[in-house]
A and B are shown apart, each in its own frame.
Chain A
Amino acid sequence: DGGITQSPKYLFRKEGQNVTLSCEQNLNHDAMYWYRQDPGQGLRLIYYSQIVNDFQKGDIAEGYSVSREKKESFPLTVTSAQKNPTAFYLCASTSGRHPFYEQYFGPGTRLTVT
Chain B
Amino acid sequence: GNSVTQMEGPVTLSEEAFLTINCTYTATGYPSLFWYVQYPGEGLQLLLKATKADDKGSNKGFEATYRKETTSFHLEKGSVQVSDSAVYFCALIFTSYGGSQGNLIFGKGTKLSVKP
Which A residues form the contact surface with B (CB < 8 A)?
4, 6, 31, 33, 40-43, 45, 48, 50, 58, 90, 92, 94, 96, 98-108
Contacts and interface: CB of A to CB of B under 8 A. Distances in A.
B107 A99 contact: no
A92 B89 CA distance: 15
B93 interface: yes
Contact of B95 (A33, A41, A101): A101
A42 B109 CA distance: 6
Interface string B36-65: 100001111110010100000000000000
Given A42-B108, A42-B109, A90 B44 contact: yes
A96 B98 CA distance: 11
Given A42-B89, A42-B109, A43-B106, A100 B95 contact: yes
Given A50-B101, A90-B43, A90-B44, A100 B89 contact: no
Interface residues of B, number: 25
A48 B49 CA distance: 22
Contacts, number: 64
29 contacts: A4-B43, A31-B101, A41-B108, A42-B89, A42-B106, A42-B107, A42-B108, A42-B109, A43-B44, A45-B103, A45-B104, A50-B101, A58-B103, A90-B43, A90-B44, A92-B43, A92-B44, A98-B95, A101-B93, A101-B102, A101-B104, A102-B49, A103-B46, A104-B46, A105-B45, A107-B42, A107-B43, A108-B41, A108-B43
